[in-house]
Structure 1
Amino acid sequence: MSASGPSPSIHRPRWFVPADLNGFFGLVVDNLSILGFIAAALVGIFQFPAEVVFARMFPGTALGVLLGNLAYTWMARRLAAKTGRDDVTAMPLGLDAPTSIGMALLVLGPAFIGFKQQGLDPNAAAIATWQLGMASLVVMGAFKLALSFAGDWITRVLPRAALLGSIGGAALTLLGFLPLIETLRNPVVGVVTFGLLLYVLVAKGRLPVKLPGVLVAFLIGTALYYGLGLSGLGAPGFQLPDPLPLSVQLPWPSLGFVEGLPHTVPYLPLLLPFGLLMVVGGINVSESARASGDDYRTRDVLLVEALATLVAGLCGGVAQTTPYIGQPAYKHMGARSGYTLLTGLFVGIGGMLGIVAGLVQWLPVAVLAPIIVYVGLDITTQAFHESPRRHAPAVALAFLPSIAYLLNIKLGNPGWIAPDHFASLFSTSDPHGFSDLAAITTLGNGFIITAMLWAAALVALIETRTRAAAGILLLAAALTLFGVIHSVDPRGGIYLPWNLEGLRQAIAFQFAAAYAALAVLLGLLSLQKPGTSA
């Protein structure tokens, strides 16, 4: 028998570390808060039957979260084994906040009203709306799947300031400011919870108990909310929710989406940008994770989110999944791969058993919101830290379009209320040009892609690649004409420019001409001989 040397050892990372509990509670709260918003919008604003939301929409939606987090857990363990490192953090996956808001307010809610206006009773209209939601998710999932293979190429051609700056702006506004407003609507609960989170996560302060800091903040905030509310000392409007009975709802694959497919046609100008937004976001978060030290392949990250969205739609889901922009925040917490495994199992199985629906009713928004604010702050900080210092102006510039999108949400984008009144609301009576409302709404539509183009163009100028900057601006002009950025559809949809009329056409052509004119000017400046500039 021949002797053989010892076989090479295979690195086996631990399944769980203590900090995974912090990451678990943070990621679960993110997902529960979005599910809570979907339920509040559909049931509270549009009087949608709660049974359809909780028993039909939630299980399939939760299944997408389960499958995506299981896949990302496996990817993290594979990377840890390959590199021999114990500090690899899994990519967090959950429901996308902006498009979940958009689906509830711009697709599902208005469609439900439309079906009722066609003569359907509320239950039948709710089922038809659910099928439309399924079909919408299938369309977006298939679209993302087709675009996933371009991810690596995009990360090679776009500078880090463009990738991180655009997502940093979204983090500051959508994950920072908006949840901060919800935090302050119940000041005692919100400020105490937020301050305790900053103490344990940012200042790394010690607690007298051996429990995860996020859990302690969560428990104290929830106790304050119900304690003050029941004693009559809380914020106005406190009331206990009606408990839901637990029931098993398995998200089996269904052909119900087929019946909803014809109804998606009017919403395609909205659904396709939603899908494109997630691909761009997936590219950005892959770059964000890479900057924090975990080199995941962009294509793999995009394929997982696309397949998770597609399967969720086939099984009854109505909100698309996405890799969250908070991977560095979870890494700073000390979380590894166990937190995504725990989150996937909890949300997925809890969604099937009705536990998630029950929790959504009982969790106070003032306790949920501060955790999202922390993630937003961490990502915003990383955008500056991980970009070259000379590119800092480009990072800052990339924040501005997201502020316009924030104003759209808080001021009330006219498309959310009455799209037919778009032209009348966009007045041209101002002698200085288009109205503030027109400028804000047009800048906010397609804000992430706009931010990436602006930052990329400025980086090219900083690096004296003037012709490259001109080319980026010409691309922006073309995208503007079709509504990919600066859409004059109040809902942010795409269109054919020759179908526009009146004020919409004037706005679209003016914005496109602005980019083209600047591109021509930069092209002429690039013709100067070296050393002749002032």
Structure 2
Amino acid sequence: MSHYRWFRAGDLNAFFALMFDNVANLVILASILIGAFQFPREIVLYRMVPGTAVGVLIGDLIYAWMAGRLARRTGRDDVTAMPLGLNAPSIFGMSFAVIGPAYLLTHDAMLAWKIGMAVTVLAGVFKIALSFAGNRVRSIVPRAALLGSIGGAGLALIGVLPLLKVFADPVPGMLALSILLVTLVARMRLPWRLPGALISALAGIAAFYLLREIHLGSPLLTGAGPVSMALHPAFPWPSFAFLGGLSKAWAFLPIALPFSLSTVVGGIDNTESAAVAGDEYDTRAILLTEGFCTLAAGLCGGVVESTPYIGHPAYKSMGAGAGYAILTGLFIGLGGMLGFLPFFVGAIPASAIAPVLVYIGLEVIAQAFLASPKRHGVAVAISLLPSLAFLVVLQVNAVISAVGAQISQITGETGESLHALILLSNGFIITAILWGAATAELIDRRFRHSAFYLVTGALFCLFGVIHSPTAQGTFVLPWQAGSTLPWHFAAAYLLAAVAAGGACLLKRETDAPEVFEEGI
């Protein structure tokens, strides 16, 4: 192939989908820090946001270049770039567990910002170091585990959560979602080949403002509506300002690094997802880019990790190439620097753009089942469960905080169930991979391999990588955890490993079908 089409019609749909996703995450970051912690608006919007946007700019441009290189190497013209953006879970982690508490503790906004920078820089270095094991992990772990874990995240974080925004304002939300499903799922073409994602968002925005104008807006909406912001250019440059917060940043690493580890695992999952869709990227290169972008963002004042996004198959089904990644990187990067990004965000109701995320979540969930061997359906299904626990815990925590209560105050059977949910949700992506892999190996009657994943789970339990006993889900040392739960969970996983490994001594059911044959 002598020429790769960098821009094509499908890039418009994909651009609006990926751009709106990143914009929504930046809005969440700003609303938490400014609204919940009264962090100075100027630092959040014109220092943190521009620096964070740098990571997206660099990463999407590199991923677009990688798509062109893959197209030249394979001779194919249908290569789709990997999507990259801001990691949603780490936004909650950095806001609620790092920057916000640091500000309340020090009463120094600049110091709290530098602590956030330092944590982001260290997370980038950590992710770069882990990237060299990416290809090895992907070659060993069953596909059902990789796709099932990312399918669970798609279900919880980019499926259900955005759907709540749709139902909070149902008229514009359902209108936008219906147009999106008609154009992207039923694949019906709009007049003049208009991009479905754009028309979906515009229709939702128009319905929102029309209802607001005639005073028939949704009674579920408690806010006063979108707030416009004045343009305020800010040009971030790499610096060593993070060193001012480095001495205090180490204390927050047990909180931040589990999120970084999850993004690395997610990057491996997403690379496998792209391979299933037909684009075979090098896992190490994908993860190195992710780590480098996080490092660059931290050096430029950013406080949120960059990560490969869930949903490559969805963007590919839209007919996207590399152009959508280029456009997204330029829009987010230049928007943060020139100041039009906060202004643009202020005019968009969440219900109008949430359907884009819902669609991407549906594509990811469907791929987890369709691209895995049919016999591994149970393994995919069990991989979804930890993400559902994380979703419930996220909402319960929001409710408890809103009423001024604490989880420790809830006792009885309800309190027991809630604490169990928290334990299940801590490290949910890694838990999903271990459960899915162990189950897939059981289905194939590779009992020693199944036992290996369970023994790995036991080791992870001891140090809080999964099922951490701390409220923040941080790493622990088992002898300093202040609880015997790590030992209990480690023992439970070891017993499960014994059961799985010992299954080779049992007789097979003579009337059972050969479940390891394809198609059964």
SS of aligned partner of 2:432: helix
Q: State which structure, 1 or 2, has the greater radius of gyration over its C-alpha atoms.
A: 1
1:419 and 1:490 in contact (8 A); partners too: no
Structure 1: give runs of 5+ residues left out of the alignment: 1-9, 117-124
Q: How many residues matched?
A: 510
Matches of 1:207 and 1:172, distance apart in 2: 28
Map of 1:126 onto structure 2: 109
Which residue number corresponds to residue 260 of structure 2?
275
Is the 8 Å Cα contact of residues 442 and 500 (structure 2) preserved in structure 1? Answer: no
Q: Indicate conservation of the 8 Å contact 1:80/1:88, yes or no.
A: yes
Q: Using the TM superposition, name which of 277-286 and 239-248 deviates more.
A: 239-248
145-154 vs 516-525, greater mean Cα deviation: 516-525
Deviation of 1:491 (Å): 0.8
Residues 1:200 and 2:178 are matched in the alignment: no
User: Structure 1, residues 35-76: CA drift from partner, whole Å, max 9, x if none?
Assistant: 011111111222222111111001111110000000000000
Q: State the partner residue of 2:2.
A: 11
Q: Are 2:206 and 1:228 equivalent residues in the alignment?
A: no
| Structure 1 position 155 matched with structure 2 position 133 | no
Tell me the residue number matched to 2:515.
none
CA gap 1:224/1:238 in 2 versus in 1, 3 angstroms: farther
Equivalent AA in structure 1 for residue 188 of structure 2: G
| Structure 2 residue corresponding to 1:452, chosen from 433, 458, 468 | 433
Instruction: State how 1:197-276 maps to structure 2 within 5 Å.
Output: 197-236=180-219, 237=222, 239=224, 241-276=226-261
User: Aligned with 2:346: secondary structure?
Assistant: helix
Q: Residues 417 and 478 of structure 1: is their aligned pair in 2 closer, same or farther, counting only changes over 3 Å?
A: farther
Residue 206 of structure 1, CA deviation: 2.7
Residue 355 (structure 2) pairs with residue 370 (structure 1): yes
Cα displacement (A) at 1:435: 1.1
Alignment of structure 1 residues 349-364 onto 2, 5 Å? 349-364=334-349
Aligned to 1:470: 451
Deviations 1:453-498 (A, max 9, x none): 0011011111111122112111111110110001111111001000
Gaps of 5+ in 2: 513-520
Indicate whether 1:100 and 2:83 are aligned: no
2 CA distance for matches of 1:330 and 1:155? 22
TM-score normalised by L of structure 1: 0.91
Seen in structure 2, the aligned counterparts of structure 1 residues 131 and 177 have a Cα distance that, compared at 3 Å, is: same
Partner of residue 306 from structure 1, selected from 272, 285, 291:
291
Q: CA deviation at 1:521?
A: 2.6
**What code does the residue aligned with 1:446 have?**
G
After superposition, the Cα gap between the structure-2 partners of 1:513 and 1:371, relative to the gap in structure 1 and judged at 3 Å, is same
Range 289-298 or range 261-270, more displaced: 261-270
CA distance in 2, matches of 1:179, 1:235: 17
CA separation of 1:246 and 1:421: change in aligned 2, threshold 3 A: closer
Contact kept? 2:93, 2:256, Cα under 8 Å: no
The one-letter code of the counterpart of 1:243 is: S
**C-alpha spacing 1:514/1:74, structure 2 compared with 1 (3 Å):** same
Q: Distance in 1 between matches of 2:390 and 2:93?
A: 12
Match of 1:390 in 2: 375
Contact 2:134 2:283 in 1 (8 A): yes
Q: Which residue of 2 aligns with 1:404?
A: 389
Aligned to 2:501: 523
Q: What is the SS of the residue equivalent to 1:346? A: helix
| Among 22, 25, 35, the residue aligned to 1:44 | 35
Residues 519/210 of structure 1: CA separation in 2 closer, same or farther (3 Å cut): closer
Deviation larger for 326-335 or 227-236: 227-236
Alpha-carbon contact 2:90-2:256 (below 8 Å) kept: no
- Is 1:22 the counterpart of 2:13? The answer is yes
Residues 183 and 366 of structure 1 are in contact (CA less than 8 Å); yes or no, is this contact kept in structure 2? yes
Distance 1:442 1:417, change over 3 A: farther
Tell me the residue number matched to 1:121: none
Whether 2:65 is the aligned partner of 1:78: answer no
Please tell me whether the aligned partners of residues 413 and 490 of structure 1 are also in contact (alpha carbons under 8 angstroms).
no
Q: Give the match for residue 148 of structure 2.
A: 165
Residue in 2 that maps onto 1:293: 278
Local SS of the residue matching 1:88: coil
Question: What is the 5 A alignment of 1:101-116?
Answer: 101-116=92-107
Q: Normalising to structure 2: TM-score of the pair?
A: 0.94
